[in-house]
Amino acid sequence: MTTLAILTAAGSGTRLGRDVPKALVEVGGLPMIAHAARALVDSGVVDALVITAPPGRSAEVRAAVGPLALELQVVDGGATRQASVAAGLALAGPGTDVVLVHDAARPLTPPALVRRVVAAVRGGHGAVVPGLPVTDTIKRVLPDGGSPAGRTAAGEPVVERVVDTPDRSVLRAVQTPQGFEHGLLVRAHAEGAARATAEHLAATDDAGLVEALGEPVHVVAGEPAALKITTERDLAVATLMLDECLEER
């Protein structure tokens, strides 16, 4: 029995205002991809790692990760995150029974969280995601007129109408790594393959593909340190948290 981790790193750094892929942006002097890969290795429960890189930059990503004490493969990612994960999943070895899918944009994820997810999958839960309770009040909205949220042709924000206020006690902000029984994840990607070609159709996480099969997904406690870096503010917060997170490892 082996655990394969797929580390998605094919995203651009556009929203960070960088001219390099997001996974190569540094946090505390080390690329995000290196932090994320080392957290997976340090967990002690990952046997093999596949990294999905921006097309044509596999060698650069491999060099950024550096040496690791496990089997590492780097493959070109696809046009969407879903397509990238499918490319990584195709490289799973014959003995793989658990698959983790993790985002390089969550570089400070504690190894303890990786272990928690794997333990839950091996404990009989076929699909497991880490999540944090939502502390803000959440409103479900539609713009006046009932069309999807967005902006006017002039660039002005659309005024949105509140539809309802979900009970936040049953809401969770989902993180990665997400863990799956290998056969279940393969089936979920096969059934949802038609969605992978376009960003507006593709699943935003792999648990969504499992849900589409009608299969249960379970949640384990997440970690505040596993924040996703999307903006400059996120990067600044992660930099401030770095020393504390490394000490906890």
Q: What is the pLDDT of residues 89-130, one digit of tens each?
A: 999 999 999 999 999 999 999 999 999 999 999 999 999 999
Cβ within 8 Å of residue 200, ≥6 positions away = none
CA–CA gap between residue 4 and residue 102 (Å, rounded): 11
CA–CA gap between residue 79 and residue 76 (Å, rounded): 10
C-alpha closest to that of 216 among 133, 125, 131: 125
Backbone angles phi, psi at 156, to 5 degrees: -80, 145
Tokens read off for 96:
């793989």
Q: What is the pLDDT of residues 21-48, one digit of tens each?
A: 899 999 999 999 999 999 999 999 999 9
Neighbours of 247 (CB within 10 A): 7
- For residue 249, the model assigns a pLDDT of 66
pTM: 0.92
33 contacts 104 by C-beta, under 8 angstroms: yes
Rg (CA), the chain: 18
**CATH numbers and ranges of domains, the chain:** 2-134+171-248 (3.90.550.10), 135-167 (no CATH)
Q: What is the pLDDT of residues 145-176, one digit of tens each?
A: 555 555 556 666 678 889 999 999 999 999 99
127 contacts 148 by C-beta, under 8 angstroms: no
How many residues does this entry show for the chain? Answer: 249
